[in-house]
Structure 1
Amino acid sequence: MTPTRLTTRALHVAAAATLLCASLSARAGEVEVLHYWTSGGEAKAASALKATLQGKGHSWKDFAVAGGGGDSAMTVLKSRVVSGNAPAAAQIKGPSIQEWGNEGVLANLDDVAKANNWDALLPKVVSDVMKHKGHYVAVPVNVHRVNWLWANPEVLKKANAKMPTNWDEFFVTAEALKKAGVIPVAHGGQNWQDFTTFESVALGVGGADFYRKALVQLDAGSLKGATMQKVLTTFRKVKGYTDKNAPGRDWNLATAMVIRGEAGMQLMGDWAKGEFIAAGKAPGKDFLCAAAPGTANAFTFNIDSFAMFKIKNTANLQAQKDMAAAIMSPEFQETFNLNKGSIPARLNMDMAKFDDCAKLSSKDFVATAKSNTLVPSIAHGMAVSSAAEGAIKDVVSQFWNTDSMTPEQAMDRLVAAAKTK
């Protein structure tokens, strides 16, 4: 080959490479993500999504706002959207997705959902949360089960007590633990923890249909009926087995009491499992997990999700769609949830790498999706508007903390709180 031909060929190769780079950079976009995953396991989980997007050639602009409940993040998000500078994606969940959808600022993800068969991969009760007026606008990253009971098997053994399966058995076990000189129930007296316990009692005493009518549909008859009276009486009885130092205690410190054997049981969502694992404890051996009493055939869910906002840049739009598709991929769902302690939102996941508590959770998630006993957690922002949730939460904590308040008075207040807009 002559030098002239070599030079000509080299120029062609260089030109092709330049065109390829140009086309790649044209396709590559940036996705700005507002989230509040700043703790250890959460940050690891977020970095898994970042790596997935970078693998597709896109860049990730992290917009992390500290604060576990996400209140600070929502304040920042509102100011960004109002100023016409919304991020591509924001961590939003439950009815809040509908509120943003009503503002007309969310992106339509139907093309991504159809291409990846989301309707078949998600239970309808979950996909409905991710849609606004029938169109996908958000994507779920995980499922937390809220109705869990955690226990220390050594402490139960010493008290000659067993893991309870209903509320009658729960109080027998609690009494045995009390006689053995152990705090029966580890609890943190904060209103969201009171509410978490309350919803598990409501589900266990009344069943999924009652729970749905009372705490999702906010039906006045259900909020003020005989079943709710029994729920409140049972709820107050639980308090009698907590310790005097419970007020103000953080949930993880309550979990630590069970880990150390100072307390026998705790009613808390599956994020508690992360505390046991971090302490080097093994499920089934060092700690026990079971559905909260009376709730083995039901499941209250708390789902983290990303809502996608309308953006104009074409490359960034593709990055946004790639992010939505990546979140629902089996690879991401597995990696994220192994780090977070939750379970995948997809129904057809291989759970081989997950621990026994997660496997039980996944099995029950699939089963309750089929039996229509999969219900949103009111205590964790999945069931009703934030205003109604806050008002009902206040009533529940007032009842927990005021011995003189009767169940009848509490029911009247619940009915009034449910009307809060």
Structure 2
Amino acid sequence: MFGPRLRRLSLLIALGTAPGLEAGEVEVLHWWTSGGEAQAAARLRERVEAEGHRWREFAVAGGGGEGAMTVLKSRALSGNPPSAAQLKGPEIQEWGELGLLGELDAVAEAQDWDALLPPRVAARMRHDGHYVAVPMNIHRINWLWGNPEVLAAAGVAMPTSLDELFAAGEALRAAGVVPLAHGGQPWQDATLFETVVLAEAGADFYRRALVALDPQALGSDTMIQALTTFRRLRGLMDEGVPGRDWHLASAMVIEGEAAMQLMGDWVKGEFAAAGLVAGEDYLCAPAPGTEGAFGFTIDSLAMFRVAEAEDLAAQRDLARLALSPQVQVAFNRAKGSIPARRDLAVAAFDACARLAIDDFQAAEAGDALVPSLAHGMALGGEAQRAWMDIVSRYFNDPTISPEEAARRLVSLAHALP
């Protein structure tokens, strides 16, 4: 009878390419296309190709992934899905319900994913009790990024509350600097809004309003206050917001045109690609008012069913390599996120990543982890897009009152099954 360690070793050997089996191909659909993201994807591709497999690149630009999901639906529903696709949260379950995903249980057992992964991460990689996706990372949503030289020149520090953020904005405006860089796309507006909700009302209210979509929470005075504060943030931005990509907003902070940006930690990949050092050339802190809470999303690769034996072997190698220590470190250092597996030495990461690792563990222990609605961890598909549309329209149309926006959110919650 095999013991657990010997059994895992035998599984790892069995998962290797069998003698006489040709190298396979993996076609990977993703939207890791900006500077830091592209470098991260390259680290995974290099490892796959080093094992003799062919990596067929299928990158679709667009920070929110909408373009990639449109292409995936067209391909998958016509019977020609890629080997793997970047999916998040409920989307994994939706594709699993269609019977299009392949199982990764053998790989998961060989690497002991149940022990390596935080429970809330592992749960999102399973469908119907089986692993069908591999997590690449954990992103924190509620971050504030700052240019230390710009802030110092205006005589302000990184704000720790929303009141301090607005006060800093006044000083930065007086110094001739854009206080807050932002890109005017629905997913970016929604990212900002969920951060404000977390800051104004905390993790419990966030889960009621943005995860459970409780109509009472969505229509409450607390939500109306959050919507009011959200609209106020528009006054900290420049007139070039509409249509701007997120990485161009990050470039404004890098180049000193803007002082700060509220955005997830993929921003750090842009800073790293520009050769900047965390804690020295740029600053990071929990978004004002959200210290102790951790809004998260997970980049994962879901595996679609493949027919050829060599392609199945390549797909399983892709999953195994994605969660290997080497790829987890290299991918996340380039991407700006933290590893999905929790047994890696933190010394390999920069100051902001080390803070994120500590904060994730503290939030996990304190029940303050919240899944991002804007980034597909709370709702999927049409419901998520409808929610983002309401939030973005409100942010960009001053004729819509906070009360009316709240009513629209309540109506959406009632309309969902």
Q: Distance in 1 between matches of 2:39 and 2:248?
A: 23
Alignment equivalent of 2:402, drawn from 397, 403, 407: 407
Which position in structure 1 is the counterpart of 2:142?
Answer: 147
Alignment equivalent of 1:65, drawn from 46, 50, 59: 59
Q: Are the equivalent residues in 2 in contact too, given 1:298–1:373 (CA < 8 A)? A: yes
Partner secondary structure for residue 296 of structure 2 = strand
Q: How many residue pairs were aligned?
A: 399
148-157 vs 73-82, which moves further: 73-82
Which position in structure 1 is the counterpart of 2:124?
Answer: 129
Alignment equivalent of 1:33, drawn from 24, 28, 42: 28
Please show how residues 35-50 of structure 1 align to structure 2 within 5 Å: 35-50=30-45
CA deviation map 1:256-292 (0-9, x unaligned): 3222333222111112223333333322222211010
Partner secondary structure for residue 68 of structure 2 = helix
Counterpart residue identity of residue 395, structure 1? I
**Which ranges of structure 1 fall in alignment gaps of 5 or more residues?**
1-21
Please report the RMSD computed on the Cα atoms of aligned residues, expressed in angstroms: 2.2
CA deviation map 1:363-417 (0-9, x unaligned): 2122222222222211122210221111111111222122232221110011122
C-alpha displacement of 1:90: 1.9
The reply to whether residue 92 of structure 1 matches residue 87 of structure 2 is yes
**Which ranges of structure 2 fall in alignment gaps of 5 or more residues?**
1-16
Alignment equivalent of 2:297, drawn from 293, 297, 302: 302
Q: For residues 36 and 393 of structure 1, do their structure 2 counterparts lie closer, same or farther at Cα, with a shift above 3 Å needed?
A: closer
Alignment equivalent of 2:386, drawn from 358, 383, 391: 391
Larger radius of gyration: 1
Q: For residues 177 and 348 of structure 1, do their structure 2 counterparts lie closer, same or farther at Cα, with a shift above 3 Å needed?
A: same
Q: Are the equivalent residues in 2 in contact too, given 1:274–1:341 (CA < 8 A)? A: yes
CA deviation map 1:199-252 (0-9, x unaligned): 110111111111111111111111111211221121122122222332233322
Partner secondary structure for residue 188 of structure 2 = helix
Alignment equivalent of 1:219, drawn from 187, 207, 214: 214
Counterpart residue identity of residue 67, structure 1? A
Alignment equivalent of 1:341, drawn from 336, 356, 375: 336
C-alpha displacement of 1:145: 1.4
The reply to whether residue 264 of structure 1 matches residue 259 of structure 2 is yes
Partner secondary structure for residue 310 of structure 1 = coil
Alignment equivalent of 1:104, drawn from 99, 102, 105: 99
Deviation above 4 Å: which 4+ runs of structure 1? none
Partner secondary structure for residue 269 of structure 1 = coil
Q: Are the equivalent residues in 2 in contact too, given 1:347–1:366 (CA < 8 A)? A: no
C-alpha displacement of 1:55: 4.1
The reply to whether residue 235 of structure 1 matches residue 230 of structure 2 is yes
C-alpha displacement of 1:297: 0.8
C-alpha displacement of 1:334: 0.7
TM-score by length of 1: 0.88
Please show how residues 267-306 of structure 1 align to structure 2 within 5 Å: 267-306=262-301
C-alpha displacement of 1:178: 2.5
Which position in structure 2 is the counterpart of 1:313?
Answer: 308
Which position in structure 1 is the counterpart of 2:72?
Answer: 77
Alignment equivalent of 1:244, drawn from 235, 239, 246: 239
Q: Are the equivalent residues in 2 in contact too, given 1:33–1:60 (CA < 8 A)? A: no
Counterpart residue identity of residue 388, structure 2? K
Q: For residues 261 and 30 of structure 1, do their structure 2 counterparts lie closer, same or farther at Cα, with a shift above 3 Å needed?
A: closer
Q: Distance in 1 between matches of 2:303 and 2:378?
A: 21
Counterpart residue identity of residue 417, structure 1? L
Q: Distance in 2 between matches of 1:236 and 1:38?
A: 30
Counterpart residue identity of residue 357, structure 1? C
Q: For residues 242 and 41 of structure 1, do their structure 2 counterparts lie closer, same or farther at Cα, with a shift above 3 Å needed?
A: closer
Q: Distance in 2 between matches of 1:311 and 1:349?
A: 32
CA deviation map 1:290-319 (0-9, x unaligned): 010111211112221111122233333233
Q: Distance in 2 between matches of 1:176 and 1:244?
A: 18
Which position in structure 1 is the counterpart of 2:3?
Answer: none
CA deviation map 1:157-204 (0-9, x unaligned): 222222111112222222222233322222222222211111110111
Q: Are the equivalent residues in 2 in contact too, given 1:98–1:132 (CA < 8 A)? A: yes
Counterpart residue identity of residue 84, structure 1? G
Q: For residues 256 and 339 of structure 1, do their structure 2 counterparts lie closer, same or farther at Cα, with a shift above 3 Å needed?
A: closer
The reply to whether residue 120 of structure 1 matches residue 103 of structure 2 is no
Counterpart residue identity of residue 264, structure 1? A
C-alpha displacement of 1:72: 3.7
Counterpart residue identity of residue 59, structure 1? H
C-alpha displacement of 1:141: 0.7
